[in-house]
């Protein structure tokens, strides 16, 4: 070989290895790294510029990109995935009365159809109430009922049981126990029960009252 | 432990003193008496389970004796161990006392060997653990972790009490509403059968099935349908049991029943 | 799963996209991220666990790896490239022999009480040693032991697993051999009369511990 003996002492690693090295350096580095610095950190004879070309191609379309910052290189998450870098802070809000009642009916009567919920509550159930409970994953769709129209039913979820500290829906106290616990004493006068149902949300409209026969 | 306190006997030769010191000067380097015993046991160059505990005890006692001569202040731990090993030594040398119910010298020796083996094993795995690739030395995390921005999200909550109160509120709107829904409009076959069994004794003559419907069930169409179906099913059951006879003149004409005559 | 049409209210993104998302989230985080958190940050219906399988394969043999730490995942540079990272290397405080041994004892005997650590080492454990390990977040308080006095126990943390590149405490080097040799048993000195009880308790809680992670 006609090479300088000093230079051949260090054989440059294969390009695949060089690519790995650039990848690791850019990943771990707190700042963008210039080609010169990459070369300085990599073994003698390595060609960071070429490795960068390969690496950039490899990350095309991935969740992470190779970007050039001035004359240095860095890895960044893909801009379209920025929304993933958000963490939600949670504001706790009490469930509306309509939602609680609907949830209670599902819990006590599951599987129950929407029409049945409306029959029990005596007012129509707004789409929003059901959606909220579905979204909270406290209720889910159950089996369709084998009645005309095959309406969907709702049942409570494991998440519901977890939230309320119940092992099963059967653990819910019965009417007798509710009464024993004094929960039934606050009885609204007959006929006024439906009035105070409104939560000022306009969710439930009495005009659509279920027709009880 | 006052008798174990460092005494004031003279050390004869400076050389002997220095030699002993070479072994002992490092007493701060030992992590307690068990560690010292482990170090001493290495001189036996055998499996820790086969170590001569007696020999080890003697080595240790010699060590402590020398330390005393050198006026090296030994921690109480070392002196407690020395006392215990002296006791163990006597147990191992003397024939067992039948009166004594305590553990035998062999049991005590075996436990000491176990402790030494366990300590050495922990030393060994500790070294292997530290020899692993470590974060920040051999492998690295992301250099510029991206901050996760905060977004407000509403979380809804309700307690079991809310739920029960909500349910109680609905149920008390109409206190007479039975707990199981729709059951007030349904007559089960069992209910009809019970009723029929009571009534059939009086039905010697052909009578319309409709007359057997429970009171108050004829007016409401839904209730009437349910009661008729249940009563009809119940009468079929009774006919099957040979208790009644059923007759219908033609399609859609009234169905009549009577008690089956006893003579057949 | 044969889901109800109503149940798939939110269409999950294609697996390729999910993989990109997991890639971006793990890439951006210095700390391991649990599967539950990944799922929480990804769109509804996404399956981070499956995406992780694909992603891990993709990064096999690369300069950056996907590693499992307890029930969480992280991206780390390949250990064979550590020599390139002098600049990133953090000077780890040199641990004393007592600290290293105490750490090993907690790792291999967890959950372990202070008295048990002292029994194994044959010397009292200084407050400083435990404090240092707590401060490094390599050990933490575990459940109290159901023995007289209900002493607190120590267990190792996810940070410990992360630091030493362990997927779980089960992967500690030599653990099986130690267990087979009976060296992880809690064997009190003969004549203390506690032998049987304590043995059972010690073994139970240990296997429990290792099952948990």
Least confident interval from A161-175, B19-33, C115-129, C182-196: B19-33
CB nearest B170 (choices: A24, A77, A120): A120
> Quick check: helix, strand or coil at residue B156?
strand
B169 interfacial to chain A (CB closer than 8 Å):
yes
Q: Output the pLDDT for position C126.
A: 84
Q: CA-CA distances (angstroms) from residue C51 to C38, C54, C55, C56, C133? A: 10, 5, 6, 9, 35
Peptide bond into A111 cis (omega under 30): yes
**Contact residues, chain B, for C122 at CB < 8 Å:** 31-35, 37, 115, 119
Inter-chain residue contact C163 with B146, CB threshold 8 Å? no
ipTM: 0.61
**Contact residues, chain B, for A119 at CB < 8 Å:** 181
Inter-chain residue contact A64 with C24, CB threshold 8 Å? yes
Backbone angles phi, psi at B226, to 5 degrees: -65, -45
Q: Output the pLDDT for position A210.
A: 33
Inter-chain residue contact A28 with B140, CB threshold 8 Å? yes
To the nearest whole Å, the CA of B215 is away from the closest chain A CA by 19
Lookup: tokens for A141: 């769709």
Buried b (16+ CB within 10 A) or exposed e, C142-166: beebeeeeeeebbbbbbbbbbbbbb
Measured distance CA(B86)–CA(C69) in Å, rounded? 49
Order of strands across the sheet that contains A33-34: A33-34, A72-77, A64-69
C-beta of residue A56 within 8 angstroms of C-beta of residue A103: no
Lookup: tokens for B193: 């059968």
C-beta of residue A105 within 8 angstroms of C-beta of residue A120: yes
Chain A: residue whose CA lies nearest to C77 = A24
SS3 content of chain B, % helix, strand, coil (to 5): 55, 10, 35
**Could you tell me which residues come within 8 angstroms of residue C66 by beta carbon, excluding any fewer than 6 positions away?**
C26, C52, C55, C56, C59, C73, C74, C75
Backbone angles phi, psi at C141, to 5 degrees: -75, 135
Lookup: tokens for C192: 């203390």
Measured distance CA(B18)–CA(C207) in Å, rounded? 51
Measured distance CA(A121)–CA(C106) in Å, rounded? 58
Inter-chain residue contact A24 with C88, CB threshold 8 Å? no
**Contact residues, chain A, for B173 at CB < 8 Å:** 122, 188, 190, 193-194
**Contact residues, chain C, for B103 at CB < 8 Å:** 189-191
Inter-chain residue contact C4 with A152, CB threshold 8 Å? yes
| Sites in chain A below the pLDDT cut of 70 | 1-10, 87-90, 175-176, 179-213
**Contact residues, chain A, for B175 at CB < 8 Å:** 187
Q: Which helix (H) or strand (E) holds A200?
A: none
Per-residue model confidence as pLDDT tens for chain B (264 residues):
343 344 434 445 565 555 555 555 556 667 788 888 888 887 777 777 777 888 888 888 888 888 777 777 777 788 888 888 888 888 888 877 777 777 788 888 888 889 889 999 999 999 999 999 888 888 888 887 776 666 666 677 777 778 877 887 777 765 544 444 456 678 888 888 888 887 777 767 888 888 888 877 877 788 888 888 888 888 888 888 888 888 888 888 888 888 887 654
CB nearest C27 (choices: B107, B121, B142): B142
A140 interfacial to chain C (CB closer than 8 Å):
yes
Pairing between strand B244-248 and B255-259?
antiparallel
């Amino acid at each position: 070989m006609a090479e300088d003996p000093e230079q051949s002492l260090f054989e440059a690693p294969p390009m695949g290895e060089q690519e790995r090295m650039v990848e690791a350096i850019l990943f771990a580095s707190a700042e963008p790294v210039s080609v010169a610095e990459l070369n300085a950190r990599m073994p003698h004879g390595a060609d960071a510029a070429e490795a960068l070309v390969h690496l950039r191609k490899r990350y095309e379309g991935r969740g992470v990109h190779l970007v050039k910052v001035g004359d240095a290189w860095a890895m960044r998450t893909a801009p379209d995935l920025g929304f993933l870098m958000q963490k939600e802070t949670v504001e706790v809000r009490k469930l509306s009365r309509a939602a609680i009642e609907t949830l209670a009916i599902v819990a006590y009567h599951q599987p129950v159809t929407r029409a049945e919920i409306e029959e029990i509550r005596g007012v129509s159930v707004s789409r929003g109430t059901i959606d909220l409970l579905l979204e909270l994953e406290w209720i889910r769709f159950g089996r369709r009922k084998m009645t005309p129209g095959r309406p969907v039913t709702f049942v409570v979820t494991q998440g519901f049981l977890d939230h309320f500290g119940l092992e099963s829906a059967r653990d819910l106290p019965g009417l007798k126990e509710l009464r024993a616990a004094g929960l039934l004493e606050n009885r609204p006068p007959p006929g006024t029960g439906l009035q105070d149902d409104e939560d000022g949300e306009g969710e439930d409209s009495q005009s659509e009252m279920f027709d009880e026969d | 432990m006052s008798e174990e306190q460092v005494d004031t006997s003279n050390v004869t030769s400076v050389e002997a003193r220095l030699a002993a010191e070479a072994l002992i000067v490092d007493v701060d380097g030992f992590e307690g008496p068990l560690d010292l015993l482990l170090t001493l046991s290495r001189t036996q160059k055998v499996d820790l389970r086969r170590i001569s505990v007696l020999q080890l005890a003697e080595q240790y006692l010699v060590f402590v004796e020398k330390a005393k001569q050198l006026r090296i202040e030994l921690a109480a731990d070392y002196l407690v161990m020395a006392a215990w090993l002296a006791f163990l030594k006597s147990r191992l040398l003397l024939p067992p006392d039948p009166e004594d119910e305590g553990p035998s010298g062999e049991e005590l020796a075996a436990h000491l060997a176990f402790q030494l083996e366990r300590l050495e094993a922990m030393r060994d795995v500790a070294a292997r653990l530290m020899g692993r690739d470590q974060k920040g030395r051999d492998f690295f995390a992301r250099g510029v972790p991206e901050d996760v921005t905060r977004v407000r999200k509403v979380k809804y909550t309700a307690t079991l009490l809310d739920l029960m109160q909500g349910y109680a509120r609905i149920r008390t709107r109409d206190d007479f509403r039975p707990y199981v829904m729709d059951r007030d409009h349904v007559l089960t076959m069992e209910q009809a059968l019970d009723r029929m069994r009571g009534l059939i004794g009086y039905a010697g003559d052909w009578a319309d099935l409709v007359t057997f419907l429970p009171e108050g069930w004829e007016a409401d169409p839904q209730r009437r349908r349910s009661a008729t179906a249940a009563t009809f099913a119940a009468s079929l059951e009774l006919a099957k049991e040979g208790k009644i006879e059923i007759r219908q003149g033609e399609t859609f004409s009234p169905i009549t029943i009577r008690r089956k005559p006893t003579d057949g």
